[in-house]
Amino acid sequence: MSTGGGQSVRGFNLYSFYAILLPGTAFTIVIFPLLPASINVNPILALVPLLAIGFVVGQVLHTIGVYILSLPDRHEMTTSHREFFEALLTDGNLPFEHTIQTSLCQSFVQTFNRVYGGSIFSDIQSESASEGADGDGDCADRDTGVDSVPENDASSEEDAFFSTALATNSRDAAALAYTVVRSDIHNDGRGRSRLFQSTYAFCRSVMVMLPLLWFLYAMYALLDWFDIPSTVLENIGASPTQALYTPLVKEVITQSPIVAVIATLATAVGLPVFQSATKQYKRYYVEYILADFTTIHVEADETSDDN
């Protein structure tokens, strides 16, 4: 495996910031106007609790996003990045079009086979050559059968294991390749795929966050406009003036329907934007996984040759 110089920060890293902390903190700040107007908050003293709560909320948003995008109705939004990667290297059965070229897949496959002594697709090279030097076409446009495992000089049990497993030409084999490739890129600490992964997860979390925020503010507007809490409290014999509070948003926008309209417009504009960004950065992420792995090991080979 490559051992590039730019090691990523362990523990709290780029992914933790973009995919967890940032959307969680944003969610916490945006719901702050629903707190009582009488609350006194010192911005400096509240910073640490805000970040802590934001990180927890971000984990919840991230988990919801992963769950939603794993629902069985297959389309571009619910196809995970792992399934995208696996399909590219197996049957190409994807419910959407993509622009990842066969030439990139070919380079990745050749590099992986060389590094780990296995065979993912034995005929990708010959088919890509038949397409011409420009290598146009998608990875999903090729035959993915494997007739035999080419001989290799694997010198370890690990290499022999990959050689046997990847020759099966299955989704399990591609899943194994994904895990190994991500580990290589992470250990190297370089590559743009990490940035695209973080941005993809951020957009996915915001996509989950927007409908939740709309629901909270729509519920506030509904309850306030029809004075439902006071009615309920009166019916159970409680004193509304003692039990209810005035939220911060009420001091800025006195008419609650306006709050509902603003929340609806923000969601209507933001949701499709972040849905599109989620799909786009998922494609970038998978594409740069292939490119980063290939580049890292090509550079390692060149460095070894120079030495």
pLDDT of 42: 81
Neighbours of 67 (CB within 10 A): 10
- Domain range summary for the chain, segments of one domain joined by +: 14-73+196-281, 94-189+290-300
pLDDT per position as a tens digit, 192-206:
888 899 999 999 999
CA dihedral 210, 212, 217, 223 (to 10 degrees): 160
pLDDT tens by residue, 96-147: 778 787 788 778 888 887 887 765 544 333 333 334 334 444 554 444 333 3
- What angle (nearest 5°) sits at the alpha carbon of residue 284, between those of residues 281 and 288? 140
Angle (CA) 122 126 127, round 5°: 100
pTM (global) more than 0.85: no
Q: Residue 56 is inside which H or E element, if any?
A: helix 43-68
Under 8 Å between Cβ of 249 and 31: no
Closest CA to 58 of 199, 206, 275: 206
pLDDT for 125 equals 38
User: Residues in the chain with pLDDT < 50?
Assistant: 1-10, 121-137, 140-155, 158-167
- DSSP letter at 7 equals P
Whole-angstrom distance, CA of residue 53 vs CA of residue 11? 18
pLDDT in the model for residue 220: 92
Interior CA angle at 270 toward 255 and 283, to 5°?
165
- At residue 165, the pLDDT reads 43
